[in-house]
Structure 1
Amino acid sequence: MTGVLPLTGFVVGITAARRADELGALLVRKGASVRYGPAIRIVPLTDDTELHSATAALLEAPVDAVVATTGIGFRGWLEAAEGWGLGDALISRLSDCALLARGPKVTGAIRAAGLSEAYSPASESNAELLQHLLSSDVTGKRIAVQLHGEPLPYFVETLRAAGAEVIEISVYRWVGPVDPGPVDRLLDGVLDGAIHALPFTSAPAVASLLALARRTGRLPGLVTALSGPVVAACVGPI
């Protein structure tokens, strides 16, 4: 006789944009009912005018260092540049500067492109990358920072305060959903007790849901719900 699945009777709301179906299927296999309300969407790289402008700015003059934070972001940046006809120019520019890799995945992406990293911290942390950069004088240095979905304000502003010119390369930018209806209904479900848990897989999704609640006067209710009856589950330090 088959036992009762562990999430039977629970309703889980999913705000993710990427791999939402995969997460939902996993929860359903455990017995949960799932409601989808994407709080964000990813701007397609080839359509991202901000990424194109930042890449063009990088190519205008030599750069001293490029900080690469994620493998998927670094590969996506190179692929987008190739689509714009800037691929060879970008590879050439990157080969002439110090490439700093946050961890092994982005190190692999750098090497797969025929490039080599100058430094990669054992801790895989942005803090150690920043410390390494600041260990030498960055005054007047031109430094690009490849972001992935969300800004790194402390990292960027600290470099600027130290005298560096910083170019932010935002790969896979998150923006609000085209149709806010599903996430609006998901928020209602959280407030009326119909949803028992909200798993978050990215900080931008949290920020977007909170912003929606604030704009519509539902922020106090959302905070109360997530502080008690509704379980907020996060992947990593979100």
Structure 2
Amino acid sequence: MGTPKPLAGFRLAVTSDRRSAELIEAFERRGAEVTHTPLLQLAPLDDEQQLIAQTRKLIELRPQAVVITTAYGLRRWVETSEAAGVGDELLAVLGQAQLYVRGAKAHGAVKALGLEPAAVAADGRSASMLQLLEGKIDGATVALQLHADSDHGLPQSLRELGARRVLAVEPYRWQDTSSDSGISALVEGLCTARFDAVTFTSAPSVHALFAAAKARNRLPALLRSLADRVVAATVGPVTAAPLIDAGISPLVPERYRMGAMIGQLVEHLDSLGTLQVQTIHGQVQLRGRTLTVQDEDCELTPGQAELVRALIEAGGSVLSREELGAALPEASSKHALDMTLSRLRKALPQPEIIATVIKRGYRLNV
């Protein structure tokens, strides 16, 4: 058997809507099994008249400062304005205003339009952007490009900083999918560690997952699983913030880009997610839920994988029934443990790898 792909045997959950195809292809190319469940989807702008009306008001009032929060929002705003015949007027107003920009990608979109920002919150956080605005907008008219549904507290924050008038511009909105059946499967899969990792590319998607879990009375189980058993990978610190606030330690790349997130997750799972031990029947290796015994693969259920993981980590020491039962994805009965062990042994190429120690428990036959 050749060298396995770095994510062979691992199950990943992708929660993003935009650019999800790129993300899924990158993981599948490295051998992962990917489930795609968008937590939020962009709502179609069937009626763009509201955005055009907001833009015309901005052109009329010519704000002294404009806050740009996202690259996608700015591009969609400009494209919609151009289609309505007011693109040049919008760019003229933006060119005369002081532009305050949140994040590197938004900065790039501003530069691509030939505009120069007055200041950039490089870390992409709203709090940092508001700090840049302190003492700069007292008595001013300020336009705010909203980041979907997640920035509706910003207009009040701008008023508290002294803005005389705040014009909110909403180029796009998120469509809540938390009631979808696919979301239920995602929540349950994360709670029971059917996935080895889950990826997030926006903070609103994290909030949407928490809300969906809470609505299903599964939030405590979800938080425990993300804290202890399922790796949460994020695209940057803004996305990671709600996870950290919930007591979870997600992966956060040094460069806040999707490619960096992919690389970090691949490295993490490839180096830390593989367990192996030498037994009397040869080398046993567990990668995600794929167990390899002497170059022969078998696919395990989440419960079976957790039992094998516990036995490998014990290094040949005996684990009691209570200790093995605690390793199952969910608290279960003695009967459930017996059934899982029985089916696990039937799934193994060599059932004798797991030895029963009378009145004590079980161990790997090393």
Question: For this structure pair, what is the TM-score category when the shorter chain's length is used for normalisation?
Answer: 0.7 to 0.9
Deviations 1:109-150 (A, max 9, x none): 445545x335134846555653443234512x1101223345
SS at match of 2:119: coil
Code of the aligned partner of 2:118: Y
State the 1:213 CA deviation: 0.9
Q: Report the counterpart of residue 5 of structure 1 in structure 2.
A: 5
Q: Report the counterpart of residue 363 of structure 2 in structure 1.
A: none
Q: Report the counterpart of residue 93 of structure 1 in structure 2.
A: 93
Q: Report the counterpart of residue 210 of structure 2 in structure 1.
A: 210
Q: Does 1:182 align with 2:186?
A: no
CA contact (8 A) 1:68 1:101 kept: yes
State the 1:186 CA deviation: 1.5
- Of 42-51 and 186-195, deviating more is 42-51
Q: Report the counterpart of residue 159 of structure 2 in structure 1.
A: 160
**Separation (CA, whole Å) in 2 of partners of 1:2 and 1:34:** 22
CA contact (8 A) 2:178 2:209 kept: no
Q: Report the counterpart of residue 199 of structure 1 in structure 2.
A: 199
Q: Does 1:18 align with 2:18?
A: yes
Alignment RMSD, CA only?
A: 2.9
Q: Report the counterpart of residue 228 of structure 1 in structure 2.
A: 228
State the 1:102 CA deviation: 4.5
Runs of at least 5 residues in structure 2 that lack an aligned partner in the other structure: 240-366
CA contact (8 A) 2:178 2:212 kept: no
Q: Does 1:144 align with 2:143?
A: yes
CA contact (8 A) 2:101 2:107 kept: yes
Query: CA, structure 1 residues 118+58, in 2 after alignment: closer, same or farther (shift >3 Å)?
Result: same
CA contact (8 A) 2:192 2:225 kept: no
Q: Report the counterpart of residue 119 of structure 2 in structure 1.
A: 120
**Separation (CA, whole Å) in 1 of partners of 2:236 and 2:199:** 11
SS at match of 1:9: coil
Code of the aligned partner of 1:119: A
SS at match of 2:22: helix
**Separation (CA, whole Å) in 2 of partners of 1:56 and 1:138:** 24
SS at match of 1:148: coil
CA contact (8 A) 2:68 2:106 kept: yes
Query: CA, structure 1 residues 228+111, in 2 after alignment: closer, same or farther (shift >3 Å)?
Result: closer
SS at match of 1:66: strand
Percentage of identical aligned residues: 37
CA contact (8 A) 2:101 2:119 kept: yes
Code of the aligned partner of 1:130: L
Query: CA, structure 1 residues 177+111, in 2 after alignment: closer, same or farther (shift >3 Å)?
Result: same
Q: Report the counterpart of residue 29 of structure 2 in structure 1.
A: 29
**Separation (CA, whole Å) in 2 of partners of 1:48 and 1:184:** 32
CA contact (8 A) 1:37 1:184 kept: no
Q: Report the counterpart of residue 62 of structure 1 in structure 2.
A: 62
SS at match of 1:226: helix
**Separation (CA, whole Å) in 1 of partners of 2:108 and 2:9:** 43
**Separation (CA, whole Å) in 2 of partners of 1:220 and 1:118:** 43
SS at match of 1:163: coil
State the 1:234 CA deviation: 1.2
Code of the aligned partner of 2:160: A
**Separation (CA, whole Å) in 2 of partners of 1:109 and 1:166:** 22
CA contact (8 A) 2:70 2:147 kept: yes
CA contact (8 A) 2:179 2:212 kept: no
**Separation (CA, whole Å) in 1 of partners of 2:67 and 2:10:** 43
**Separation (CA, whole Å) in 1 of partners of 2:65 and 2:102:** 13
- Of 144-153 and 4-13, deviating more is 144-153
**Separation (CA, whole Å) in 1 of partners of 2:148 and 2:22:** 20
